[in-house]
Amino acid sequence: MSLGWQALIPARTWGSNVTKDTLRADLIAGFTNATIVLPQAVAFATIAGLPPEYGLYTAMVTPIIAALFGSSMIMISGPTTAISAVVFSTVSGLHVPGSEAFIQMVLLLTLLVGLIQFALGFAGIGRLVAFVSHSVMLGFTAAAAVLIAASQLSDALGVDTEPGGSVFTRIFRTIDAADTANWRAIVIAATALIVAAAVKYYAKRAPNFIIGLVAASILAYFLNANENGVKMVGALPSVVPSPSLPPVNLSTIAISIEGAFAIALIGLLEAISIGRAFAFKSGGRFDADQEIVGQGMSNIVGSFFQAYPGSGSFTRSGVNYEAGAQTPMSAIAASVFLFLLLLLLAPLAASIPIPALAGIILLVAYKLISFEEIKTIVQSSRAEMAIILATFLAGLIVKLEFAIYVGVILSLLIFLSKSARPTLAISAPDKDGIFRNAQIYGIDQCPQAVFTRLDGALYFGSVEAIERAFQKIERQNPTQKHMVLVLKGVGDIDMPGGMCIVEEARKRRRRGGGLYIVARYLPLLKQLEKLGVTDGIGGHQMIYSNKGDAVAGVLDRLDGPPCATCTKRIFMECALRPGGSGEMVPREPAKPKRYDDIIKENDAKTV
């Protein structure tokens, strides 16, 4: 369902919840966040190929707009590692990173990303984004991490290399220039990385990036790094983003739109996953479509204030939650405090060595890869492993923004493949009369009738798999001319699915049997009627609301002579059939087979 125009009302849901107590908590959380994002924003801008001030502009403008128009009470938006990497990958092939043309194209990219996100949110596609596999983001972020690390190697070594190119090209260029490495740059980069990692390990709440940069900057001062060829960040031109119109150019739009779609999708995946995660933690409400609108608005407005594309930041959101944030006022406070800190600390930015930033970014790249999650998925799911691998390789070999499309398409194909393979399980009553999986519980089946349960979608994509399952059942038990098909696990059905059932009913009638349906869901029963399935299987008398009635109906249609010589007596009602005792006696339930035994039986059948 698409959103209405009320989605444009700022802070329509949380403004009335702001009190003195919540404001106090939000101010504390906002100040904590400002200290975290200061070095982050500079580092992320470097990843994006932009001067440091553009990361700071993004960290100040984007959170305010996303807080006012979004849905999450905890999430804070701003520059992110993954989006920064895609921005660099998209624009660096066209313009020199850091150049005026590069910056202008990035600002246009921000506007396009915002417009795409706003349109998607207003159209109500939040639920569709949720169908994209988490493995896509795992593979994508791993590829982004490798690209980020490769792009920072030259700065960490203090060598000059040609910008741009693939991951492998960057690595080879750095190796070729390694003989000109500056040992001071290497020591400074290593110091920033080691100190930041150690602080994070021993004092999780401390601003490890700031401490790492300060330690490396002090070391650079004593090494006279600036006088010995080590590059510095330099003075920031301004800490205040100046309003300006993004450069709208049709030819530039044409070459930017593909990257804009990729960035928009990545941003939405990040924001929705983060928003939902913290809504679950805090017990709050989260509207995915409204958040998409908020993200779109933040990038649209940000493009007019020299911000590059941003999205929800998991790190900043996590700090916000741990610091006790209550409302989105914490995000607004974080931006205000960041501005104040910049007024005080901006002159010190000139003394930050570029290798120190490279060391911090290398640490960020390492932390970006979710090794434990990837290991778990590799061990548990081949399909998800394939998604991770395909996305990762596409990001390394082709283009980073192309990788997200590869992952999304592959995840959707796998989803469709799974939906096209529903389960058709054979069931039979145990000694207590309760229907259970005949294979798992080792229960004998009726020689003349088979009970099956269909779980999954019954549509054109699954018809072939269902037909194969029907054929397999017929080959394994040719004397079972009657089939009871339980449709309690089927929510909907289309014409090809209905015709599949009708055709199976015709085959069984030709063999002297029939097909019977157990279904109680009224919309499904009406759909069976509309599609002609009811008439195709023999009328309403072939449809039952429960398995008990189906048993009674089917037993009346079984051949008498086989029943007279049958010793299985599967159903309690069999006692009333020819050769039975004439009295129905309840029996003890069967015990399920052990998992290992089932596997052994299947292996034996395969051999």
Average pLDDT, the chain: 85
Q: What pLDDT does residue 602 have?
A: 53
Residues 89, 167, single domain; the answer is: yes
Query: Does residue 180 fall inside a structural domain?
Result: yes
> 176 and 282, same structural domain?
yes
Mean local confidence (pLDDT), 253-280 = 84
Per the rule left: phi > 0, alpha: psi between -120 and 50, beta: everything else, 308 is beta
Please return the burial class of 607, using the count of CB atoms within 10 Å of its CB with bins 0-12, 13-18 and 19+. Answer: exposed
Residue 449 sits in the same domain as residue 360: no
Tell me, yes or no, whether 189 and 324 share the same domain: yes
Residues 508, 482: contact at Cβ < 8 Å?
Answer: yes
pLDDT digits (tens, 9 = 90+) for 524-561: 888 999 999 999 999 988 999 888 889 888 988 888 88
Q: What is the pLDDT of residue 271?
A: 87
Q: Quick one: pLDDT at residue 113?
A: 96
Alpha-carbon gap, residue 368 to 388, rounded angstroms: 14
**What average pLDDT does range 245-274 have in this prediction?**
85
Q: Flag whether 148 is in a domain.
A: yes
DSSP 494-517: -HHHHHHHHHHHHHHHHTT-EEEE
Which two three-digit tokens encode residue 50? 């932009």
Question: Both 251 and 103 in a single domain?
Answer: yes
Whether 118 is in a domain gets the answer: yes
> pTM value?
0.70
- Mean pLDDT is lowest, of 198-202, 236-240, 481-485, 556-560, for 236-240
| End residue of a domain, out of 306, 336, 371 | 371
Contact 287, 126 (CB under 8 A): yes
> Do 490 and 367 fall into the same domain?
no
My answer on whether 302 and 439 are in the same domain is no
Identify how many contiguous H helices and E strands the chain contains and give both numbers.
25, 8
**Spatial CA neighbour of 486 closest among 464, 513, 455:** 455
Whose structure tokens read 């949380």?
A: 14
Half-sphere CA count of 142, side-chain side, radius 13 A: 21
**Residue 50 pLDDT class (50, 70, 90 cuts):** very high
Could you tell me if 359 and 497 lie in one domain? Answer: no
391 within a domain of the structure (yes/no): no
- Asked if residue 437 and residue 301 are part of one domain, the reply reads no
Its domain, for residue 92, covers: 19-237+244-371
Question: Is 449 in the same domain as 597?
Answer: yes
Co-location of 321 and 455 in the same domain = no
The answer as to whether 408 is a domain residue is no
Would you say 483 and 513 are in contact if contact means Cβ atoms under 8 Å apart? yes
Asked whether residue 405 is domain-assigned, the answer is: no
What does the pLDDT read at residue 289?
84
Q: Is the pLDDT of residue 520 over 80?
A: yes
Tens digit of each residue's pLDDT (9 = 90 or more) over 381-434: 888 899 999 989 988 887 777 887 888 888 888 888 887 888 899 999 887 778
CATH number, domain containing residue 470: 3.30.750.24
Per-range mean pLDDT, top range of 8-22, 94-108, 159-173, 255-269: 94-108
Instruction: Supply the pLDDT for residue 595.
Output: 41
Average pLDDT over residues 448-468: 91
CB atoms within 10 A of CB 602: 11
Whether 401 is covered by a domain: the verdict is: no
Section 28-47 average pLDDT: 84
**CA 517/CA 540 separation, integer angstroms:** 10
In a domain, 413, yes or no: no
Q: How many domains are contained in the chain?
A: 2
**Percent of the chain, pLDDT > 90?**
36
Q: What is the pLDDT of residue 181?
A: 94
The predicted-structure confidence for 78-123, as pLDDT tens digits, reads as follows 998 889 988 998 898 888 898 999 999 999 999 999 999 999 888 8
Q: Are residues 332 and 223 in the same domain?
A: yes
